[in-house]
Each structure stands twice: as structure tokens, then as C-alpha cells.
């Protein structure tokens, strides 16, 4: 049974175990989904992020969800698209793999991802969607801790690109 699904909407509204943030290396907030998550979680999220010492691209770090319905936020930093010759695909795959690993380690059963790097970081959406699904399905095939992965997409373009992977 496929444990992945696609949802159009605002990731900050989901009442699930964890939502993933498309952050930057400082982990100190930003625009896009990063800004939305910090606004919805409240100032305590930033306070905890300040204790984490940043995050490398492809890595993931976990915090509580504070005022969000989600109990945890997993912060990951996607690659900035530089034409595809700077290991962007491997870094993006690592974002999904490391976020799922961290979720499994924290007994998280339901997790939602935004379209990492598909906004300000300029990753070609079709390719990013393929990496998201392939990496996630590979992980889910190897471990059964996680029961549901929801890809939450905001724009029409991303939604259409993701649907092609169903």
C-alpha cells in the first residue's frame, strides 16, 4: 500500500506528528514556507533554532512545534539550484532521506514535506518532485516506522509536477 500522498494547501495547518521546513543554513527563519512555519509556531521556535548552530545543506535537525498543530518541525536545507553540476540532486535526496531518518528515530509516524528547493532556491520542479518521491519510496521500502508521508504543495505548477509521480 502506498504510504505517500499529495495535498494542496498550507503545511502549517496540518495536525500530524511532524512537518518539514525548507530552511536555510542559519535556521533563523526566512520567507516562503520557512516564514510561514515560524509565524505559525511562534517565537519559541526561533529560540530553539538559535540553540542548534545552523544546518548544512542536505542535513536535518528537529525541534518541537510549539504553537503549530504538528508536534515536531524537522528543519532541512535544500540545495540552491546552480545548473545541476554542483551535486544538487544528491543534496536534495539527502534532505528527504535525513529528514525521514530523523523522524523514524523520534518515533514520528506521520510527516509532511513541502516542495524543498522549488521556490527561492530555484530547483527545476519536475526533477525535484521525482527526487522527492524516489528517495521517500526507497526509504519507506526499507523501514516500517513511518506510516504516512504527505507532500504538501502550494502552487499549481508544483501540484501538477508532483501528480505525475503518483
Binding site for ligand APR (CB under 6 A): 10-12, 22-24, 30-36, 78, 114-121, 152, 154-155, 158
Give the CA angle between residues 22, 28, 29 to the nearest 5°.
50
> 36 vs 145, which CB is nearer to ligand APR?
36
Q: What minimum distance in Å lies between the beta carbon of 38 and ligand APR?
A: 9
Q: What minimum distance in Å lies between the beta carbon of 156 and ligand APR?
A: 10
C-alpha 87/C-alpha 7 separation (Å) is: 28
> 62 vs 92, which CB is nearer to ligand APR?
92
> 10 vs 143, which CB is nearer to ligand APR?
10
C-alpha 25/C-alpha 54 separation (Å) is: 5
> 25 vs 143, which CB is nearer to ligand APR?
25
Q: What minimum distance in Å lies between the beta carbon of 9 and ligand APR?
A: 7
Whole-angstrom CA distances from 45 to 13, 20, 63, 68 are 16, 13, 7, 10
In 3D space, the residue among 72, 84, 79 whose CA is nearest the CA of residue 95 turns out to be 79
> 30 vs 145, which CB is nearer to ligand APR?
30
Rounded to a whole number of angstroms, the CA Rg of the chain reads: 14
In 3D space, the residue among 81, 74, 15, 68 whose CA is nearest the CA of residue 49 turns out to be 74
Cβ atoms 106, 146 nearer than 8 A: no
Q: What minimum distance in Å lies between the beta carbon of 119 and ligand APR?
A: 2
Q: What minimum distance in Å lies between the beta carbon of 117 and ligand APR?
A: 4
Amino acid at each position: 500500500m502506498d504510504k505517500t500522498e499529495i495535498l494542496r494547501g498550507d503545511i502549517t495547518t496540518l495536525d500530524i506528528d511532524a512537518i518539514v521546513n525548507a530552511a536555510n543554513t542559519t535556521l533563523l527563519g526566512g520567507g516562503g514556507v520557512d516564514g510561514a512555519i515560524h509565524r505559525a509556531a511562534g517565537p519559541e521556535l526561533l529560540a530553539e533554532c538559535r540553540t542548534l548552530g545552523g544546518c548544512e545543506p542536505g542535513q536535518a535537525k528537529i525541534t518541537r512545534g510549539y504553537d503549530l498543530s504538528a508536534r515536531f518541525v524537522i528543519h532541512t536545507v535544500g540545495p540552491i539550484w546552480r545548473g545541476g553540476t554542483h551535486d544538487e540532486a544528491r543534496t536534495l535526496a539527502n534532505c528527504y532521506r535525513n529528514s525521514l531518518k530523523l523522524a523514524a528515530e523520534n518515533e514520528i509516524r506521520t510527516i509532511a514535506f513541502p516542495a524543498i528547493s522549488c521556490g527561492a532556491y530555484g530547483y527545476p520542479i519536475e526533477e525535484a518532485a521525482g527526487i522527492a518521491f524516489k528517495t521517500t519510496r526507497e526509504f519507506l521500502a526499507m523501514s516500517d516506522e513511518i506510516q504516512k508521508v504527505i507532500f504538501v504543495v502550494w502552487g499549481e505548477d508544483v501540484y501538477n509536477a508532483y501528480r505525475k509521480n503518483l
